[in-house]
Amino acid sequence: MNPVGKPGKTGSLMPVEQALARLLEMAEASPIVEREFLPLAEVEGRVLAEDLVSTLDLPPWPNSAMDGYALNLADWTGAPLPVSQKVFAGQAPEPLKSGTCARIFTGAPVPAGADCVEMQENTEVQDDGSVRFIETMSVGQNIRPQGQETTVGELILAAGTRLGPIEQGLAASLGCAGLNVVRKVRVAVLSTGDELVEPGRPLGPGQIYNSNRVVLCSWLQRLGCEVIDAGILPDDLATTRARLGGLQGVDLILSTGGVSVGEADFLGIALREEGELALWKLAIKPGKPLTVGHFRKVPVIGLPGNPASTLVTFALLTRPYLLRRQGVQDVEPLKFTVPAGFVWPVAGNRREYLRGRLEQGRAIIYRNQSSGVLRSAAWADGLVEVLEGRTLVEGDEVGFIPLSDLLG
């Protein structure tokens, strides 16, 4: 057992589960209802808008799983059988003549009357062209029965399924040339901060390059969102009001920075004036402060500006929110348990999401876990979850959330 950390401050912080539940409720209150019909090749990364029900049996008829010979087992006495027809994939066979076998190839329909396919490796073709079967055989062997994969009327993919190459293939196998998908979520990305400069320009005193913008814009695109890149927002109330006012057609305004209780929280002021504002203090590290609200009627999520905080709060909260708005039910990231390959001697009062890697089946963590260090995430291939109040010795279990899942 691990010692439990100091109680106390945790009480005033919002557990991540609670924050997620609230965000998902908000998402369900404003689902994206518009849909569009897209050719199958264009649905990758989108969300299915209606159930996909099979109009076919798959396979549509019994077919051969092997290159070999189809026969009726009752005709087999041990003596060679003459070959009465050849059936290639794509052909419609004649019924099997009794007392004969049919040469057959993988994927070809099994002739009516045949109840068994023997693979060619277990046969011997005689000088007269008849076929001797060497091994004992059984009814149904090497035959893929009609409807073994899918039958007419079966639910194949439920509305709310995220579509990737495999789902596209499944729809293709059922003959769908296109699918009804939920329209893209339109997300405006705003980077707040007087200190920010876009890459490619010289840095002045006190300035840093804007990295959150490109992280979020690329990530959102991967999630199938339509991105409205709203650029850098200076720390100024009038500009903040005006800029937010110009983003009324979007489904979400996603900003970074300016959410700590600092004096430069103009986003918060604007939301309070012309919408609604909640400032959450999350029990996670990095990423404590989160702004959630509306500007006029548009939902707003304000992520903390430190790059690792932006990453963690986007991954754990914004990503599920955006997926749920499109009707996806299964929105939580993949997480599994691995042994820690590091020690954690001092328990914290917030859940830690350390940037880490798996090495020989154990989670190890980047040397610098500062929330300002994006390099930790570039080095990492996952977030290592250390629960609040816990200390760890090597070998203790920690949660591991692969970045590959979060980014996809």
Q: Which residues bind ligand AMP (CB under 6 A)?
A: 191, 193, 195-196, 208, 210-213, 256-260, 262, 304-307, 372
Using alpha carbons, select from 174, 254, 262, 256 the residue that is nearest to residue 221.
254
210 binds, among ligand AMP, Mg ion, none (CB under 5 to 8 A by kind): ligand AMP
Question: Per DSSP, what are the bridge partners of residue 101?
Answer: 71, 83
**Residue with Cβ nearer Mg ion (89 or 203):** 203
**Residue with Cβ nearer ligand AMP (258 or 356):** 258
Q: Which residue is nearest to ligand AMP (CB)?
A: 305
Distance of CA 108 to the CA centre of its chain: 36
Asked if 293 touches Mg ion (CB under 5 A), the answer is no
Asked if 257 touches Mg ion (CB under 5 A), the answer is yes
- Which residue's structure tokens are 């009752």? 74
Beta-carbon count within 10 A of 204 CB: 8
How large is the greatest C-alpha to C-alpha distance in the chain, in angstroms? Answer: 96
3-state secondary structure of 190: strand
On whether the CB atoms of residues 283 and 349 are closer than 8 A, the answer is yes
Residues 6 or more apart in contact with residue 262 via CB below 8 angstroms? none
212 binds, among Mg ion, ligand AMP, none (CB under 5 to 8 A by kind): ligand AMP
**Residue with Cβ nearer ligand AMP (314 or 344):** 314
Asked if 307 touches Mg ion (CB under 5 A), the answer is no
211 binds, among ligand AMP, Mg ion, none (CB under 5 to 8 A by kind): ligand AMP
Asked if 299 touches Mg ion (CB under 5 A), the answer is no
CB 263, min distance to ligand AMP, A: 10
Q: Which of residues 11-30 bind Mg ion (CB under 5 A)?
A: none
CB 320, min distance to ligand AMP, A: 22
Q: What is the 3-state secondary structure (H, E, C) of 155-188?
A: EEECCCCECCHHHHHHHHHCCCCEEEEECCCEEE
**Contact footprint for Mg ion (CB under 5 A):** 193, 257-258
